[in-house]
Homo-oligomer: A and B are copies of this chain.
Amino acid sequence: MQALADQGAATADQVSCVAKAATTVDPQLQPDQVEDAGTPVLPLVRALRAAVGDPETAAVVHRGLTSQDVLDTALMLLARAALSAANANLDQLGDRLAALADAHRMSVMAGRTLTQYAVPVTFGLRAAQWLVGVLEARAGLVAVNERLPVQCGGAGGTLALVGELVPDPVRAATVFAADLGLQWPGLPWHTQRSPMTRLGDALAETAQALGVIAEDVLVLGRPEIGELRERTGAGRGASSTMPQKQNPILSVLIRSAAIQAPAHVAQLHLCAGQSVDERAPGSWHAEWPALRRLLKLVVTATAQAAELVAGLEVDASTMRARAEESAAELLSERGGDVTDPSSYVGSAEVFVDVALQRWKAR
């Protein structure tokens, strides 16, 4: 409404009256009403108009916009909040990974490929690789966050009704975007869903970066391996029946998130590719749960990963002992008479430094 008022299509009084009314509307809608309209927008508009009371002012509520403008924009605002939370979590996580990579740059351990002993590596390198995943994820989230667009096109993506209300409808869209701290993408995107899928891609990339950490902690934390341990205690990881049990529950939940995320991003791409007409029947609607679930998974899993790494117990002496025990296998590629696995870790430390510098320079 601010955007309409900016060009004289609503008065300041009307704007403040609606704003006040909005605080009194119960956002919890009856499912029946939502089903009737197919979206929550119409029942909300009705409730808001009723709360406003004055018919003239009520008529300015939801004037020129379509349900998809409201819903797409709301999802972008939701995404902004989620991305901000996820990024803060990734910053904590990355700092801790950087510290781990630095501290363990000399901690030799057995490298494993296809589950079997390969050549020696260092735990610092492993942590540096985790950090690279976080770096890429963070860069992706930041890039989409900067471009999150407002949706503003009216019933058919032409801004026709807005154009009846104000002289410059595109300016109104720009003001609308600025008011909300979103971008005006130059034209509506009712059926060009790249903003949705790019957001989904970045979220899926984040989930996968966390998944790798969880997979490694789960393997290296098996009792027979014992090179890492998820900190338990304070209630984390207890079993409902076995008193001795300390489950690596954060890793378990992060792994679960990494397993779930890909299906949701596929859903977004699928819906995007079926955006027929000026508004798609069903393929638009199927985006909502996919995006909401992705946002929730990623905010939660980034927080869990930050906690996981903060409390991660690294048993460097077990790592070293195992590498030395299995030195014959770990060094067979090299041949010769070398017997110390730590003498055959190649450029591991160079790679640690590459990752650390990138993190610092992010």
Contact = CB atoms under 8 A, between A and B. Distances in A.
Give the interface size bracket for A toward B.
35 or more
A289 to B, nearest CB: 7
A130 to B, nearest CB: 8
A271 B259 contact: yes
Contacts of A276: 212, 215-216, 219
Interface string A260-298: 111111111111111111111111011001100100000
Interface in A176-193: 186-189, 191-193
Contacts of A161: 119, 241, 333-334, 346
A252 interface: yes
A218 interface: yes
A75 interface: no
A344 interface: yes
Which among A133, A221, A234, A290 has the greatest number of chain B C-beta atoms within 10 A? A133
Interface in A143-193: 154-164, 169-170, 186-189, 191-193
Contacts of A259: 267, 270-271, 273-274, 282-283, 286
A70 B33 CA distance: 35
A164 B344 CA distance: 9
Interface of A: 33, 35-39, 41-42, 45, 62, 64-67, 70, 111-121, 125, 128-129, 132-133, 136-137, 154-164, 169-170, 186-189, 191-194, 197-198, 201, 204-205, 207-212, 214-216, 218-219, 221-225, 234-249, 251-283, 285-286, 289-290, 293, 304, 322, 326, 328-329, 332-334, 344-348, 350-351, 354-355, 358
The 7 lowest CB-CB distance pairs between A and B, nearest first, are: A211-B273, A255-B282, A160-B346, A111-B156, A158-B346, A258-B273, A113-B279
